[in-house]
A and B are shown apart, each in its own frame.
Chain A
Amino acid sequence: KAGVTQTPRYLIKTRGQQVTLSCSPISGHRSVSWYQQTPGQGLQFLFEYFSETQRNKGNFPGRFSGRQFSNSRSEMNVSTLELGDSALYLCASSLGSGGTDTQYFGPGTRLTVL
């Protein structure tokens, strides 16, 4: 079974631009979560989507948004990019049944903001 895929793997943007990252979950998984990883703040939860609805949200500004499509694929968008948004963005998928569900991570998208 194919794992979680994320595209693109690398992105370079300039301040003020916006960016969209994509995540395809493992087949059969209905939940997709996004995390931001930076050297200073470590791994932080952004949000979780299940059945096209945001189910959980972390403590990030409204510039960070996401959505999920009917095939469970998810996108996250960051508007008005700031230098501090440079990070590895990780997507994780799970069955979405809650409880003892386990998250499986993709390879990440490395975003550099200049």
Chain B
Amino acid sequence: AQSVTQPDIHITVSEGASLELRCNYSYGATPYLFWYVQSPGQGLQLLLKYFSGDTLVQGIKGFEAEFKRSQSSFNLRKPSVHWSDAAEYFCAVGDSGTASKLTFGTGTRLQVTL
């Protein structure tokens, strides 16, 4: 069965600093990978997704992620963080080569200091 690990439970960065959130997955074939963001009391908003092709994917709100098969990683990055980026971020992998039945990581809570 597939699994997702987000090693960092909580990260604090200063506004304007760069950000990298780590995600490692376990999956036999080429995974379908996602990053979602959740603000307090809200549902999940899709930031970006990877299915195949270019390993660097661009998402909304200035986020990007890079798929590295050799490291089984799909890290999320942003060059300059804004205070409004404070939220919880979830990495997910789809089941059996599909984008359904998502398995989520435990999430990384991002705090932004001014």
CA distance A98 to B49 in the complex (A): 15
**Cβ of A70 under 8 Å from chain B:** no
Residues of A whose CB lies within 8 Å of any CB of B are: 4, 31, 33, 35, 42-45, 48, 55-56, 58, 90, 92, 94, 98-108, 110
CA of A17 to CA of B41 in the docked complex: distance in angstroms?
A: 25
B74 CB within 8 Å of chain A: no
Name the contact of B100 in the complex, choosing from A90, A98, A107 (C-beta under 8 A): A98
With A106-B43, A107-B42, A107-B43 known as contacts, the answer to whether A58 contacts B104 (CB < 8 A) is no
B27 is an interface residue with CB less than 8 A from chain A: no
Q: Is the interface of B mostly helix, strand, loop or mixed?
A: loop
Evaluate whether A102 and B46 lie within 8 angstroms (CB atoms) in the complex, with A42-B104, A42-B106 already known.
yes
Contacts of B44 in A (CB 8 A): 90, 92, 105
> Looking at the complex, which one of A56, A92, A106, A107 makes contact with B95 (CB distance below 8 Å)?
A56
Query: Which residue of chain B has its CB nearest to the CB of A33?
Result: B100
**Chain A residues with Cβ under 8 A from B13's Cβ?**
none
Most buried by A among B45, B95, B104, B105: B104
Given known A-B contacts A56-B95, A90-B44, A45 and B51 have beta carbons under 8 A apart:
no
Residues of chain A contacted by B36 (CB below 8 angstroms): 105
Give Cα A4–Cα B107 distance, bound, in whole angstroms: 22
